[in-house]
Structure 1
């Protein structure tokens, strides 16, 4: 198993708008293609502000590639991205593998 760990830095004062838009439009589309997220978090008061972190679990890189290709090809997702992208400053992505002694399957 692998974990796709994404951090989005949002423009100041856009966190609430992003969360509302994502919850209403983005999440349902992603769930159709990616399944349930492993976790979804918002930074608050300590450390970098205006950030969201979300994680998605996949069997392997091939599974991730296939599911994300389906998402990218979805016209609803492309329409959502046109609305959400102006709210973002940066995006960071990491692929995490579990340590040998930890199984999150």
Structure 2
């Protein structure tokens, strides 16, 4: 009886300890409450086949979009030669698996596109991204213009470490009218602790002028300095939307 009493006492202590254990969140601000994710795909094209690949894709992309949602498709102008970048939206990993299975059984997709496009590529890469909780996809105010994909490799620790500072850095640029953020994404598969910001500008020259102006704005400078304390490295690409891109 004494042994049973001690066991019950230890069990109660264990339950009480778990119940009163403090809780902490890995991210700051609103929590992500849904499974929607975005697949970032980057294809490197053999230089002499770049034009042929873009022509084929333009003619046959409808075979692919019949299966799942395309967010945007761009040709990289600076920061990666003979390269295309595209974003696909999925509601869940199960949906993506079913889409990939359906594509593998689609004779039109295989015969009219894949069999011709794959020999034109030198490599493919993909990443799985989530929108940060405080961001959503926002189309540019008008068609045309250029897009900058800015990629930030942040220090380990996730949004709990750098989320607030990064949010402020993006917010001061959009809130001051310096740039239009199409979306802000953080990595789930691929290089970890990575954030992508997709910006839109009316032209490459407008981007250059805005950067000169914003770099003289004390508010922007202060926000960037705070965010940079958590930064490991960064890179970017300037891209033009393809004619068939939903976002352009």
TM-score normalised by the chain length of structure 2:
0.39
Structure with the bigger RCO (C-alpha within 8 Å, sep 6+) is 1
The alpha carbon displacement at 1:40 in A equals 0.4
Q: Report which of the two structures shows the higher radius of gyration computed on alpha carbons.
A: 2
For the residues of structure 1 that align with 2:83 and 2:92, how far apart are their CA atoms? 26
Say what the alpha-carbon RMSD is for the aligned residues.
1.5
Any idea what SS the aligned residue of 1:94 has? strand
Is the 1:34–1:68 contact (alpha carbons within 8 Å) kept by the matching residues of 2? no
TM-score normalised by the chain length of structure 1:
0.89
Q: Aligned residue for 1:55?
A: 87
Q: Aligned residue for 1:38?
A: 71
For the residues of structure 2 that align with 1:65 and 1:102, how far apart are their CA atoms? 26
1:70 is aligned, of 96, 102, 107, to: 102
1:29 is aligned to 2:63 = yes
For the residues of structure 1 that align with 2:58 and 2:104, how far apart are their CA atoms? 18
**Residue ranges of structure 2 left out of the alignment (5+ in a row):** 1-35, 139-248
What is the aligned residue count? 102
Q: Aligned residue for 2:123?
A: 90
1:3 is aligned to 2:38 = yes
The list of structure 1 runs, each at least 4 consecutive aligned residues, that deviate by more than 6 angstroms after superposition, is none
Any idea what SS the aligned residue of 2:95 has? helix
**Residue ranges of structure 1 left out of the alignment (5+ in a row):** none
